[in-house]
Amino acid sequence: MKKHLLISTLFLILLCTNTKAQTNSVSSLFEKDSITVVITDSGLGGLSVLAEMEKNMRNSGHFAKINLIFANALFNETGGYNALTNRNEKVETFNKVLNGISKKFNPDLILIACNTLSTIYEETNFAKTANIPIIGIVDIGVLEIKKKLDQNAYSKVLIFGTETTIEEDSYRSQLVEQGISNTRIVSQACPQLQNYIENNPLGEDTEMLIMSYVDEALAKGPYPKDGIYVSLNCTHFGYSKKIWTEAFNYSEIEPLAIINPNVQMAEILLNKKFENRFSNTAIDIHVISKVNINDESLNSISGILKEQSIAASLALISYQKVLDLF
């Protein structure tokens, strides 16, 4: 019951998001029997959203059929958006991705499962004319962090993200706008961590980096005893949740919760009012990429996805390379 209440709260808040991309709200999707959902990320972190959504929806009966598509927004194999020289270049590149996704898949909903791309979405030309709901993970993450902080007036949150996400400061600024004191927010950049996680989420190099970044964040204290929330604000970071937990245990700190917005994003279509509209839900699931995905990443990420969704794991292993994706 509590979970359904939280999901309904998220659902209602996202319906009211004041962006041009929300011209047609999420609620309009339930007027359809079949929908296409595209999840995009600059790398493979957003695949966890794909896997979790497939798991959530397979027996829910919300729709007769769901086409779930993960579209990799990476444009080359040697560097991502964080390597581009300026903001305009990032915006123009992501705009091409969104146009390509829209033309090829005609989606009913686009989920931006990338913190970096979520922060620049509103600056794209696509955002000015989009007539379907587009939901970014930053808004979802801010909502979840605020909910947790409101439960404990003396708590603080440690926000871990890529260099770009931390430099953008979107989480801090939005939380402050919503009444959270700046003194309760600590941000920690984690350079290169997403690359190590993608190659081996539980590897020794990944572990050493996470331990180091946790130490750096804790050095920015002091923190209230039994009053720390940890927020993983790169979609890759959740793949290594076991190491994050171990890192805080090693420091003899037990977070009140480790927040992973990927989970909340995957629940966006769960709504008790529309459960069991259909006796069965057929789900087609595909992973599409413009660039090659190396074998090391395929093996490591598919192994973790298998725990959530065998279908998502198999879709990654048999991903489709589409050179003209965007």
Residue range 86-135, pLDDT digits in tens: 899 999 999 999 999 999 999 999 999 999 899 999 999 999 999 999 99
Residue 23's pLDDT is 36
- pLDDT exceeds cutoff 90 at 14: no
- pLDDT exceeds cutoff 80 at 273: yes
Residue 27's pLDDT is 87
Residue 22's pLDDT is 43
Read off the pTM: 0.89
Please tell me if the domain spanning 2-136+264-321 has the same topology as the one spanning 138-263: yes
Residue 220: Cβ within 10 Å count: 12
The CATH number that domain 2-136+264-321 falls under is 3.40.50.1860
Residue 25's pLDDT is 81
Residue 16's pLDDT is 42
Q: Which CATH number fits domain 138-263: 1.10.10.10, 3.40.50.1860, 3.40.50.1220, 3.30.565.10?
A: 3.40.50.1860
Give 184-218 as a DSSP string: GEEEEE-TTHHHHHHH-TTSHHHHHHHHHHHHHHH
pLDDT in tens, 46-85: 999 999 999 999 999 999 999 999 999 999 887 788 778 8
Mean per-residue pLDDT of the chain: 90
**CA pair distance 8, 240, nearest whole angstrom:** 28
Domain-by-domain residue ranges, the chain? 2-136+264-321, 138-263
- pLDDT exceeds cutoff 80 at 296: yes
Residue 133's pLDDT is 95
pLDDT in tens, 154-180: 999 999 999 889 998 999 999 999 999
- pLDDT exceeds cutoff 70 at 15: no
